[in-house]
Structure 1
Amino acid sequence: MSDWIEVGKLDDIPQRGARCVNTPIGRIAVFRTATDEVYAIEDRCPHRGGPLSQGIVHGAQVTCPLHNWVFSLETGDAQGADEGAVRTFALKREGERILMDASIMLAVAAE
């Protein structure tokens, strides 16, 4: 059974933008696409630690603002010739509310 915590409302995040949530396991970037899909990934590029929340959102991907690495918001995997991945976190929407699966954060913190 999952515990879900509210991390904001859809209107808190601009389309094709992100907002960050500080958690016990670090900063998590919550993204909103042009079609109002929401995704959550760690806010740290594995290449040079760039803040992915400040990247450019296109489709269901984000481009790191430091060195243009592209990551899938769905899987966290680097795209194209780049290698690596960022952790993803489960979200769900209840109307305008965005909820994150808190049990995942607790499990990751225990690793």
Structure 2
Amino acid sequence: MNWIAIGTITDIPQRGARCVATPQGKIAVFRTAEDRVFAIEDHCPHKGGPLSQGIVHGAAVTCPLHNWVISLETGKALGADDGAVKTIPVRVDGERLFIALEALADRAA
């Protein structure tokens, strides 16, 4: 896998997110209260809301537009909602964060 450096874990507040622009689109990178890091496409499957601006709780994020809850682990909408976003592999090496962009490109093909 080709890992792309995107910064450090301290660039992202606990229970927060940062957005990374890529040739395949915006990626939201989340840090949970337990310092777990996840990356998913930065658009809700419902109406395209910016998930990076949502509220992180546990291993999920709530979309700021219509309160859809998306699993950070699977990218799937939780509860009665139906839809999903692509997840992107993340690697944490000490403080440094890396994402595997080809995984997103492969899934888009």
TM-score bracket for the superposition, by shorter chain length = over 0.9
Shift, 1:108, TM fit: 4.1
How far apart, CA to CA, are the structure 2 residues paired with 1:67 and 1:45?
9
Deviation at 1:103, TM superposition (A): 2.3
Q: Tell me if the contact between 1:77 and 1:86 (Cα under 8 Å) persists in the aligned partners.
A: yes
Taking only aligned residues, the RMSD between alpha carbons, in angstroms, comes to 1.0
Output one character per residue of 1:18-55: Cα deviation in whole Å (capped at 9) or x when no partner.
Answer: 00100011000000000000000000001111000000
Q: 1:16 Cα shift? A: 0.3
SS at match of 2:30: strand
TM-score, with normalisation over the residues of structure 1? Answer: 0.94
Q: 1:104, CA displacement in angstroms?
A: 1.2
Identity %: 64
Runs of 4+ aligned residues of structure 1 deviating over 2 Å after TM superposition are 105-109
Name 1:53's counterpart in structure 2: 52
In the other structure, the counterpart of 1:7 is: 6
TM-score by length of 2: 0.96
Most deviating of 81-90 and 98-107: 98-107
Matched letter for residue 49 of structure 1 = G
